[in-house]
């Protein structure tokens, strides 16, 4: 097949959507398919397999957007048409202007379209300080429908997302397929750095942005009976880094704030003692999946807007959202019950192998794309 992947946002592999897009590209190419990427990432101009549209000029907001590590696309019909020409299927990653226009032009050309549902409304409205404004969130999902109603298939990384969208906009031809965990992320023998000797290392992987709720974890550690020995590692990037560093000044041990390479993350995931995912808003939570895949026991927010809570084996892997006291109690329980933690680690290793092996997930994605592409063949075969 010739597959065109449309990415309104594509840059470094430091966010879930870009990671998902690049994993899909590499996996489909490894299976013998021809893949083109349509995106606004000027750094990839001239590279084989990439078609580049201009970046959108947001005037006074350009600095804020860059601080969030993204570039937004400005559609150009000439570039889009050239990119999708001869495609068997167009797969759109995000419901923004480039994706919507590419879907429209693909359908005009008789090319089947699939799309991923990777963004929640709150991922947008949080930047407008309106994440709790339900009428605005509902309106945002209605805007998303400008893309999804054109699609022959929709990829939902979690059942949570499918239920959310279909509850608002009606049934879809949906496929629930995890983005999976890269095969490089797996259990290995790893020693804590000497500087962390005698410390309990707690990891959280997530962008430094408000909906990830880093502050809840910082406040919980400040209230923990083991606060003198807890070493937090916040793996990620984002606009709130300096603010979070100021908030974390109350802790006896300063947290580590850094973006890590995949090889570095493998080591951290295998020497950490506990993983905490305090996010209020989460579409899938790949960082949590990576922790599980290494047997790292998670403690997860039970926020009603967090898909990640589905990965909890029981209530001991959950805490009351936005309650530092409840999170502190959960952290202290796992620290004081190492045998239970070891047993739960083994359970999570088996769970991850069954549910989130990336090759299995990519087999399902390939099947979805083939079934979507077949819609063109079936239409052509009709009298």
Asked if 274 and 129 sit in the same domain, the reply is: no
Asked if 66 and 116 sit in the same domain, the reply is: yes
Asked if 370 and 340 sit in the same domain, the reply is: no
- Predicted local confidence at residue 139, as pLDDT: 84
- Predicted local confidence at residue 381, as pLDDT: 44
Q: What is the mean pLDDT of each run of 10 residues along the chain (383 residues)?
A: 94 76 94 96 90 78 55 89 97 94 96 93 77 83 89 95 92 94 92 96 94 96 98 94 96 96 96 97 91 97 94 96 97 98 96 87 96 76 43
Look at residue 247 and tell me if it is in a domain. Answer: yes
Asked if 342 and 366 sit in the same domain, the reply is: no
Look at residue 188 and tell me if it is in a domain. Answer: no
Asked if 367 and 318 sit in the same domain, the reply is: no
User: Which is it for strands 2-6 and 89-92: parallel, antiparallel or unpaired?
Assistant: parallel
Asked if 124 and 251 sit in the same domain, the reply is: no
Look at residue 187 and tell me if it is in a domain. Answer: no
Look at residue 185 and tell me if it is in a domain. Answer: no
Look at residue 189 and tell me if it is in a domain. Answer: no
Instruction: Give me the domain span that covers residue 320.
Output: 194-355
Report the Cα 272 to chain-centroid distance in Å.
21
Asked if 146 and 214 sit in the same domain, the reply is: no
Cα–Cα distance, 334 to 320 (Å, whole number): 16
Tell me the three state secondary structure of residue 37.
strand
**The whole model's pTM is what?**
0.85
Asked if 325 and 259 sit in the same domain, the reply is: yes
- Predicted local confidence at residue 380, as pLDDT: 46
Asked if 40 and 136 sit in the same domain, the reply is: yes
Long-range interactions of 248-254: CB distance < 8 A, separation 24+? 248/218, 250/218, 250/222, 251/218, 251/221, 251/222, 251/227, 252/227, 252/228, 253/199, 253/228, 253/229
Look at residue 151 and tell me if it is in a domain. Answer: yes
- Predicted local confidence at residue 344, as pLDDT: 97
For residue 174, give the H/E element and its range: strand 174-176
- Predicted local confidence at residue 63, as pLDDT: 58
Asked if 53 and 71 sit in the same domain, the reply is: yes
Look at residue 84 and tell me if it is in a domain. Answer: yes
Look at residue 28 and tell me if it is in a domain. Answer: yes
Cα–Cα distance, 2 to 373 (Å, whole number): 10
Count of domains in the chain?
Answer: 2
Asked if 253 and 306 sit in the same domain, the reply is: yes
Phi-psi region of 213 (alpha: psi -120 to 50; beta: other; left: phi over 0): left
Cα–Cα distance, 33 to 157 (Å, whole number): 22
At 82, which CATH number? 3.40.50.2000
Asked if 370 and 349 sit in the same domain, the reply is: no
Where do we find the tokens 């963004």?
A: 119
């Amino acid at each position: 097949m010739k597959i065109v992947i449309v990415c309104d946002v594509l840059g470094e592999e430091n966010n879930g959507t870009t990671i998902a897009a690049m994993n899909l590209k590499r996996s489909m190419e490894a299976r013998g398919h021809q893949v083109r990427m349509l995106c606004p990432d000027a750094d990839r101009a001239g590279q084989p397999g990439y078609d580049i549209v201009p970046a959108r000029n947001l005037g006074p907001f350009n600095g804020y957007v860059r601080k969030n590590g993204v570039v937004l696309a400005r559609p150009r019909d000439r570039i889009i048409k050239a990119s999708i020409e001869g495609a068997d299927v167009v797969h759109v990653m995000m419901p923004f202007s480039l994706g919507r226009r590419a879907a429209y032009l693909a359908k005009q050309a008789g090319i089947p379209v699939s799309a991923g549902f990777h963004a929640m409304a709150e991922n947008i409205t949080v930047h407008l300080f309106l994440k709790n404004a339900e009428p605005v969130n509902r309106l945002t999902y209605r805007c998303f429908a400008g893309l999804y109603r054109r699609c022959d298939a929709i990829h939902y990384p979690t059942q949570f997302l499918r239920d959310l969208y279909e509850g608002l906009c009606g049934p879809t031809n949906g496929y629930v397929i995890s983005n999976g965990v890269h095969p490089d992320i797996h259990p290995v023998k790893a020693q804590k750095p000497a500087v962390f000797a005698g410390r309990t290392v707690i990891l959280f992987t997530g962008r430094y942005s408000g909906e990830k709720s880093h502050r809840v974890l910082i406040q919980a550690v400040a209230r923990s009976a083991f606060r003198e020995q807890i070493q937090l590692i916040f793996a990620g990037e984002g606009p709130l880094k300096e603010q979070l560093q100021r908030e974390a000044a109350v802790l006896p041990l300063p947290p580590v704030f850094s973006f890590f390479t995949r090889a570095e993350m493998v080591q951290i995931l295998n020497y950490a003692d506990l993983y905490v995912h305090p996010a209020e808003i989460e579409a899938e939570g790949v960082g949590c999946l990576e922790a599980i895949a290494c047997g790292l026991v998670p403690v997860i927010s039970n926020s009603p807007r967090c898909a990640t809570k589905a990965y909890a084996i029981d209530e001991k892997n959950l805490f009351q959202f936005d309650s530092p006291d409840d999170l502190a109690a959960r952290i202290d329980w796992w620290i004081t019950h190492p045998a239970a933690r070891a047993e739960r680690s083994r359970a999570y290793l088996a769970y991850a192998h069954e549910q989130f092996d990336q090759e299995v997930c990519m087999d399902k994605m390939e099947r979805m794309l083939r079934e979507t592409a077949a819609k063109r063949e079936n239409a052509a075969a009709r009298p």
